[in-house]
Amino acid sequence: MSIYLLLFWEFFKIGMFAVGGAMSALPFIYDLAEKYNWYSVADATNMIAISESTPGPITINLASYVGYTVGGFPGSLIASLGVTLPPLILTVCICKFLQKYRKNPVVEDAFYGLRPAIAGMIAAIGLELIDISVLTNAGATVFERISWPSALLFAGLLAVILKFKKHPVLYIAVAAGLGIVFKF
Amino acid sequence: MDAKTFREIFTTFAKVGMLTFGGGYAMLPLLQKDVIEGKGWATEEEVMDYYAISQCQPGMMFVTISSYIGYNRFGTMGAVAATAGVVTPSVVIIMILAAFLREFLTYPLVEQAFAAVRIAAAALVISAVVKLVKKGVKDIPALVLCVVGFLLCAFGVIGVVPLILLSAVDGILLHTPQRRAAKAEEVGK
């Protein structure tokens, strides 16, 4: 089979079966390394590191990176397309189905309960993001692990974000600049 | 859909994709600013609903959330435009890095900038939650659901899907009698 077809198919499967966030796609990436000898396991680790730090969906970053490694620019496009199609198709199908029930009062009540719970869950994700960005030192307790310059930057940024409500790009750019100036 | 609308959806979501660091939830501050407040393509409540459904289905949250919002106002082509927009910057950036800058992450300047950007991403998500809670959590039952959702999720007590199903059942149990009572009162008048 042509390598492009194979790439498309492998990433289509990842798009279809990787349930529960980008972390669930990682084992697939290691599997591919062993199955096809397209790249080494060390390459996979490096690709994952880059995919996690660049912006955008990690799974797309991975697909694009693996695709490029295997088949250059066309490989990159094809793997990305493969991994994107399943959730896109599934979501459009769900939308068509949801339209029928959207105005059902019981469904509305269910969503009434869901919204605050989701807000709470997003808060928990925020805590996780704080964990990986601010609690960066080694140690057992929170106080040992906290990086004080990072905590200061976090608190300062949060205060100005809440007060001025400017576009997020501004805060991201300011943070990047401060990161370089103060050597984070 | 005309080409102009397609382009508008595409570029709006491309901006979201380019500026989101760290998972589908980290999109929220950008969605609030550009899609909800800027374009008015969805309400805050609708986006919450999409997050809830996305949690329970396979596939990348970036793609599913963008598809729901695109579909909401513009149908299937809207979903396609939003999805294409949100993934394109990633594909392009990774292509450039893979082709020319494989050592990209080992440059100290890049490492330092990214370390601080991750902190900004965390602050942005927390501020998005503050906004959500201020707007969406108006009564005691909602506050309880929010706090319980947070605790269960933060301490990993139960999985995300059971948590969502439970809070949906809760919503029905809490709100349906309330709604019926309000309706009965209206009929009584």
Domain ranges of chain B: 3-104
Residue showing tokens 């990774």: B94
Contact A49 B105 (CB under 8 A): yes
Q: On the CB side of B55, how many CA atoms lie within 13 Å of its CA?
A: 22
Check whether A78 has a pLDDT greater than 90.
yes
| Residue B153 confidence (pLDDT) | 84
pLDDT at B63 over 80: yes
The residue in chain B having the minimum alpha-carbon distance to the alpha carbon of residue A176 is: B113
Residue A72 confidence (pLDDT) above 80: yes
Q: Which residues in chain B are closer than 8 Å to A163, comparing Cβ atoms?
A: none
Asked whether A21 and B23 are in contact (CB, 8 A), the reply is: yes
Nearest CA among B189, B59, B47 for reference residue B132: B47
Closest residue of chain A to B150, computed from CA coordinates = A120
To which H or E segment does residue B41 belong?
Answer: none
| CB atoms B154 and A175 under 8 Å | no
pLDDT value at residue A92: 94
B174, pLDDT greater than 90: no
Residue B155 scores a pLDDT above 80: yes
Task: State which amino acid sits at residue A61.
Answer: N
Pairwise pLDDT comparison (B188 vs A48), residue with the higher score: A48
> Average pLDDT of B6-19?
96
Nearest CB to B67; choose among A19, A92, A162: A92
Residue of chain B whose alpha carbon sits nearest to that of A58: B23
Residue A23 has pLDDT above 80, yes or no: no
**pLDDT of B135:** 82
Cβ–Cβ below 8 Å for A77 and B91: yes
Distance from CA of B133 to the nearest CA of A (A): 7
ipTM of this complex prediction, to 2 decimal places:
0.85
Q: DSSP H helical segments within B20-43, as ranges?
A: 28-30
Prediction pTM value: 0.86
User: What is the pLDDT averaged over residues B126-133?
Assistant: 90
Chain A residues near residue B60 by CB distance under 8 angstroms? 15, 18, 22, 57, 59-60, 83-84, 87
Residue identified by tokens 């959590």 is B137
Q: How confident is the prediction for chain B on average, in pLDDT?
A: 89
Backbone angles phi and psi of B41, in degrees to 5: -80, -15
Tell me which chain B residues have a C-beta less than 8 angstroms from the C-beta of A179: 112-117
Mean pLDDT value across residues A39-60: 85
Residue B66: per-residue pLDDT: 96
Q: In this predicted structure, which of A22-26, A151-155, B95-99, B131-135 has the lowest mean pLDDT?
A: A22-26
**Euclidean distance between CA atoms B61 and B67, whole angstroms:** 9
Nearest to A117 by CA among B164, B138, B45, B178: B164
User: What span, in angstroms and rounded, lies between the C-alpha atoms of A51 and A62?
Assistant: 6
Strand locations in A98-158, DSSP E?
Answer: none
Question: In one letter, which amino acid is A183?
Answer: K
CA–CA min distance A97, chain B (Å): 12
By three-state DSSP, how is residue A141 classified? Answer: coil
- Taking the alpha carbons at both ends of chain B, their separation in whole angstroms is 47
**Out of A3-12, A137-146, B121-130, least confident range:** A137-146
Contact between A121 and B93 using a beta-carbon 8 Å cutoff = no
